[in-house]
Amino acid sequence: MTPLTPHPNLTDARLQLHYAIQFMAMTGHALSLSQPDHSHSSLDWLPEQGWFSSQRIEGPTPFRVTLDPVSLTLRVVGSQGEKIAALELIGQTLDQGLSWLQSVLSPLGTAVEKLQFLSYPPDDFPDHAVAHGAAFAPGDAAARQQLASYYGLTHDCLSQWVKEMAGASAIHIWPHHFDMATLVTLPETRNGQALTIGIGLSPGDRSYDQPYWYVSPYPDPPTDPLPSLEGGGHWHTQHWVGAVLTASTLIPGTVPALIAQINAFITSAVNASAELLGSQARIRDMPTSAWQITLIQRAANAWINGDADAFAELFWADGEFMVPGNCWIGPVAIRAVAANFAAAYAPIKIEIQRILTMANQAMVEWHWQETEIETGKQSNAADAIVIDFQNRRIRRWREYIDTQSCMSLPE
């Protein structure tokens, strides 16, 4: 399990938050300077507080409307972040929240009569009891906390990409689909139309009932063939074309390892999207540490899925796979031992604890749990692995296994 393994109550938490952020969207839409791209209706993420925020509203008393996603608390804050007023939404309806917001903003000299909820196509906005007059429910604060973690981590990742990529917009959270994204405008055009690549996070929707990261080229490119992707991503081609990395695809590990997987996905997907659009633009190649971590994650995933072919193809023709007392050389021998193991043990659980990289070598610590199919006996181990790389493949994998001091993995 990872800090981002989708919480069982994530869907309802997402839906309630989707409605809760509409207070910020309406504030920006009605009271801030209109922008051609409609970003005046978008939200910001305040990383220090872990809050959603409207755009800054100028006036005699500048302010923002914010939302603490964990406690479901609306706050109106001044230009220095000082609290002007607060309302816990739990137990309140949308109409009650709007009345409260109008009563708070009116003394600040704003045109509160302009405040109204934005309208969206009914077939393109999720339904919920809150939309029909129900009050916001207590729900699951842990699920909301996890959603906040998704946005916080993605904001950190996208902030780096925005710094590095020419043509990248500011980061916005769009109230229609509740996604956090930047839009990269490529230098080329097609028939006078701009070519763009969207990079972002969706907290979940009708396509995927879980959070996912996406990279979407525009206009939609041909889908045959589509380039391969790193980091566990795949191509989505139904109704829209884009690269997708779902939260459930993240390989168990520490937050830095998760970030490396997400960045590996984004790197490969952006370059693939630019190629599909016929653009010469490319972002930096994946740094050595990122592709090494990605390869290690692919190895872990191969063991978890019992995919002997996927593990063996990571090695050179004379690559060595070594465990205490045994050494197999070459993909054929490595595939055979991996297949035999998969036939005898399932499920396999792996939790990556740390990865240290240097030049063409990496050291890995992971916790391993296996269940013997025939007897149901469960065993745990703490493994230390030293891996030598050459041209993005494994030259030598040496594994040290500790079955004495390890802890069992959580269910």
> Among 55-69, 275-289, 304-318, which stretch is predicted with the lowest mean pLDDT?
275-289
Amino acid at 123: D
Mean pLDDT of 377-401: 95
Give pLDDT tens digits for 7-49: 999 999 999 999 999 999 999 999 999 999 999 999 999 999 9
**Cα–Cα distance list, 347 to 196, 334, 341, 351, 368 (Å):** 42, 20, 11, 13, 11
> What is the predicted pLDDT for the residue at 406?
56
CA 366 to chain centre: 22
Mean pLDDT of 157-177: 92
Amino acid at 114: K
Nearest to 8 by CA among 170, 168, 189, 139: 139
Is 196:183 a contact under the CB 8 Å cutoff? yes
d(CA 91, CA 60): 32
> What is the predicted pLDDT for the residue at 84?
96
Q: Which distant-in-sequence residues (6+ apart) come within 8 Å of 154 by Cβ? A: 180, 200, 201, 213, 262
% of the chain surpassing 90 pLDDT: 76
> What is the predicted pLDDT for the residue at 192?
87
DSSP string for residues in 39-60: GGG-BEEETTTTEEEPPPBPSS
> Among 138-142, 236-240, 280-284, which stretch is predicted with the lowest mean pLDDT?
280-284
What size, in residues, is the chain?
411
How sure is the predictor about 368, in pLDDT bands with cuts at 50, 70 and 90?
very high
Q: In degrees rounded to 5, what are phi and psi of residue 214?
A: -140, 155
- Cβ-based burial of 378 (10 A; exposed 0-12, middle 13-18, buried ≥19): middle
Summary mean pLDDT of the chain: 92
Q: Tokens 């704003």 label which residue?
A: 110
CA 151 to chain centre: 8
Give pLDDT tens digits for 81-92: 999 999 999 999
**Cα–Cα distance list, 191 to 134, 135, 251, 277 (Å):** 49, 49, 42, 13
Mean pLDDT of 183-210: 94
CB atoms within 10 A of CB 312: 22
**Bridge-based pairing state of the strands 393-402 and 315-323:** parallel
SS3 100: helix
Give pLDDT tens digits for 84-137: 999 999 999 999 999 999 999 999 989 999 999 999 998 899 999 999 999 999
Most confident of 255-269, 284-298, 388-402: 388-402
Is 158:6 a contact under the CB 8 Å cutoff? no
